[in-house]
Amino acid sequence: MIYNSSMNDRPDISHSARASALAAELRSVAGKLKRRLQEQSSVGDLTSSQIAVLLRLEKEGPATASNLARAEGMRPQSMGSVIAPLEAAGLLSGTADPNDGRQTLLSLTEACRKLIQEGRAARQDWLSRSIAEKFSARDQERLASAIELLKRLVED
């Protein structure tokens, strides 16, 4: 705390009151977003977490299940059940790391990479589509900095 509270018991009442109001709104919109993503995932066949994984692998290259779990802030066991259907669908393939037998390095299959590059995946994706449709280039910039803000919030 930067504020000196020795001369005043409530130096930041409005600061925390504002925080509380913002929290309420953020909680509400986060809930809606969550439900929206979920309801859309039943339309296609990929869940939100699965799309997040695919796009991360596409952007940052092969990774292990544990790596992905850490990146997404979830447990390795949970990531396992996110990944399993993707492997079954032939979108992901795992090869054992020759240097470390414990690890299985996951990478996108050629079929999946093609799907993403053709933009088909994005067009099927409700969130990508909504952002493209509803947000101008200027708004997309604003969204980008908003996301940085949210990242700070969910960090430790």
Residues that bind DNA (CB under 7 A): 31, 35, 38-39, 41-42, 47-49, 64-66, 74-78, 80-83, 94, 99-104
Angle, alpha carbons 118-119-125 (nearest 5°): 145
Query: Which of 30, 46, 40, 66 is closest to 147 using CA atoms?
Result: 30
- String of DSSP letters for 40-77: HHTTSS--HHHHHHHHHHHHH--B-HHHHHHHHTS-HH
User: Which residues, numbered 92-131, are part of the site for a second copy (CB under 8 A)?
Assistant: 119, 122-123, 125, 127-131
The smaller minimum CB distance to DNA, of residues 102 and 152, is found at: 102
* DSSP bridge pairs for 95: 105
The smaller minimum CB distance to a second copy, of residues 102 and 151, is found at: 151
Q: Kindly state whether residue 5 participates in binding a second copy, applying the rule CB under 8 A.
A: no
The smaller minimum CB distance to DNA, of residues 12 and 109, is found at: 109
Q: Kindly state whether residue 25 participates in binding a second copy, applying the rule CB under 8 A.
A: yes
Residue 128 · residue 122 · CB < 8 Å: yes
Sketch the per residue contact string, 59 through 98, with a second copy: x for CB under 8 A, - otherwise: x-----------xxxx------------------------
Work out what residue 19 binds among DNA, a second copy, none; the CB cut-off runs from 5 to 8 Å by kind: a second copy
Provide φ and ψ at 106, rounded to 5°: -95, 135
Which residue intervals of the chain are DSSP H helices? 13-41, 48-60, 65-72, 76-88, 110-117, 120-124, 126-134, 137-154
The smaller minimum CB distance to DNA, of residues 27 and 114, is found at: 27
Q: Which stretch binds a second copy (CB under 8 A): 52-60, 88-96, 101-109?
A: 52-60
